[in-house]
Structure 1
């Protein structure tokens, strides 16, 4: 199965694509491998001396601008090293022993082990009270955005890891994506857009239910809704409030995953099907019915389509001589699958991250062999995964916790 390093091209103008359950478009004109240099890595700002670092209860600043200047990787490596022991007097020894006996955040989440496959746990960002449904890193911003079913969008400072703002959306958030400086938030009956640079905001109306998935392609924003329709708007537009240019109907249940290739839009639904849409005509050209349960995630990767389902399988699809997609390989799991996410290690084979349904585990597979290369753990089932330049991976789980991981070659761990 040919899967090339072109997956890194998903790091387009809007940053890394959220491959599942809410995919964003790739840009085949971009090449290279992770990390993408078009987005500056999370780093210290000119006026701050803080970096993301783990603690037992919250993220605590440890690195300094001077240490970063001496070793650019120190702001990440420092998170894996124990903090210097502070001087204590006789009266504080007992309190110190008590703190040392408490399990660390990393031990709580990964059984005392570093994350597998080259990922090391950094910290957990707590604040949301319900499942995280979206993670966004707008281009040129030093803020990380997270959306949740609790109806709030939280802004996290990328330097300190602290929550600096909470925006109430007035209802459940179904998904979130980024395009350049824009952040799109899917809620009931609309998509709310905000420019992280200018503060400009507008609403896209048309859906009759909760917006469950979104993707962008060639200036078109597609949104899968809870009523089974896919709404399309032309973007950008100078108007602050405008209607859709097309409505794609065919699914019988919510469309919870969208992905795009150069000429096709792929939609995964709770109705157990995947529909293939022609981007020029916006007509359905094929319906894939091989899954036996809800299709939870679709991922367009190079010339292949990957999908996962609650039927406990991952399927790989390829075009036949007639041009229709056919399943060429099926990988079976013991659990249903919630979301899949693809990345490409520098100089290595592609890696597929698979979040298991009703489990706190993400399994990582080396492709195309599907040999397991490690596991990551969270409090509950991981709903969304996002990648940032600089080797940082973000996972949002059903408990409302946002975990931060650092990727590095195995020999560095």
Structure 2
């Protein structure tokens, strides 16, 4: 008796009907039949789940599972053994999620650097040691003489403090009788600019000199071979032959030309440069001590000058820094101007 097509399809005989598309489920088992033999027989590894395109994009590419630091390290595989199953295969009917991969950092990288390294970070090699507290007003100069274990600081509070460089403690306080306008070091000498004089101390021999001549506060100083220059609040520059055995020395020359305080001095091989609150820079010949050029390009007080070779840098309260170079005629001219608006 012939079997109907419907009954034949149910019994598995007759022409096979195309299976309906399966719906994806994270709990679905593989449709590949397991080999016979029950629990005692070897089971073939199950293939990865086939995901629809939308789900595959959400889950991303499969990754190999590497052991985390909190789990027992797996035993090394024997030569020729199969590699571990990729992440994302079903295990006991559940999906396995890939674990984060922990990569060891190189020995030279520190999350928290040692103390000695941490203190130098961002300092360009400088290390903060301590704060020297004691002055009651602004500090106007610091000197570290050659071959000395002391540091000298001068202040507008009228005192010079002497600090031990090893302990950071103040070992002496010297009253100057007036505010300290500036302080510089030359070899073992410390020069202190105060109203109406420059005090010179030799830290090796103990010699003390008082250089007379200024009529007001000494605001700036510089030293070249055999000559000390001091800019004063009344616009003059005093020049002394130095060193000398005289206890009270008078200036050998007085350079005039500025209208207001001379607040910065700088020396090259043949020139002395002075800047002033009168907005100008003057160039002086060191042989004749005569002014050979006046630079008037700044629009406000020129607070500092710095020279090297035949070039000059100047900065001003007009918010500019100017670079000066020699022209063919031998005079300085502005080569470049950097304004604060350019960004720093």
Interval of TM-score (by shorter of Structure 1 and Structure 2): 0.5 to 0.7
| Residue 155 of structure 1: how far off its partner (Å) | 1.0
Aligned residue for 1:139, secondary structure, equals: coil
Corresponding residue for residue 255 of structure 1: 262
Answering whether residue 315 of structure 2 is matched by residue 312 of structure 1, we say: no
Name the CA distance, whole Å, in 2 between partners of 1:250 and 1:311: 22
Answering whether residue 267 of structure 2 is matched by residue 233 of structure 1, we say: no
Name the CA distance, whole Å, in 2 between partners of 1:322 and 1:331: 24
Corresponding residue for residue 410 of structure 1: none
Distance verdict in 2 for CA 1:283–1:117, change over 3 Å: same
- How do 1:25-40 residues align onto structure 2 when only pairs under 5 Å count? none
Corresponding residue for residue 303 of structure 2: 296
| Residue 78 of structure 1: how far off its partner (Å) | 9.4
| Residue 115 of structure 1: how far off its partner (Å) | 4.6
| Residue 151 of structure 1: how far off its partner (Å) | 0.8
Corresponding residue for residue 152 of structure 1: 159
Aligned residue for 1:191, secondary structure, equals: strand
Corresponding residue for residue 63 of structure 1: none
**TM-score normalized with structure 1 length:** 0.54
- How do 1:238-387 residues align onto structure 2 when only pairs under 5 Å count? 238-333=245-340
Distance verdict in 2 for CA 1:142–1:305, change over 3 Å: same
Query: 1:207–1:231: 8 Å Cα contact kept in structure 2?
Result: yes
Distance verdict in 2 for CA 1:171–1:115, change over 3 Å: farther
| Residue 250 of structure 1: how far off its partner (Å) | 0.2
Corresponding residue for residue 182 of structure 1: 189
Aligned residue for 1:227, secondary structure, equals: coil
* Structure index of larger Rg: 2
Distance verdict in 2 for CA 1:184–1:121, change over 3 Å: same
| Residue 122 of structure 1: how far off its partner (Å) | 3.2
Name the CA distance, whole Å, in 2 between partners of 1:256 and 1:135: 16
Name the CA distance, whole Å, in 2 between partners of 1:292 and 1:79: 47
Q: Could you list the per-position Cα deviations for residues 24-82 of structure 1 after superposition, in whole angstroms to 9, with x for gaps in the alignment?
A: xxxxxxxxxxxxxxxxxxxxxxxxxxxxxxxxxxxxxxxxxxxxxxxxxxxxx998468
Runs of 5+ in structure 1 lacking a partner?
1-76, 83-105, 107-112, 335-369, 373-413
Aligned residue for 2:304, secondary structure, equals: strand
Distance verdict in 2 for CA 1:79–1:293, change over 3 Å: farther
Aligned residue for 2:130, secondary structure, equals: strand
- How do 1:66-105 residues align onto structure 2 when only pairs under 5 Å count? 80=116
Answering whether residue 180 of structure 2 is matched by residue 163 of structure 1, we say: no
Name the CA distance, whole Å, in 2 between partners of 1:156 and 1:79: 26
| Residue 119 of structure 1: how far off its partner (Å) | 3.8
Runs of 5+ in structure 2 lacking a partner?
1-112
Relative to its length, the structure with more strand (as a share) is 1
Q: Could you list the per-position Cα deviations for residues 262-293 of structure 1 after superposition, in whole angstroms to 9, with x for gaps in the alignment?
A: 00000000000000000000000000001100
Which of the pair has the greater relative contact order for Cα pairs under 8 Å at 6+ separation? 1
Corresponding residue for residue 203 of structure 1: 210
RMSD over equivalenced CA pairs, Å: 2.2
Name the CA distance, whole Å, in 2 between partners of 1:115 and 1:167: 36
**TM-score normalized with structure 2 length:** 0.64
Aligned residue for 1:323, secondary structure, equals: coil
- Count of residue pairs brought into register by the alignment: 232
Corresponding residue for residue 126 of structure 1: 133
Corresponding residue for residue 86 of structure 2: none
Name the CA distance, whole Å, in 1 between partners of 2:150 and 2:225: 26
Aligned residue for 1:247, secondary structure, equals: strand
Distance verdict in 2 for CA 1:78–1:181, change over 3 Å: farther
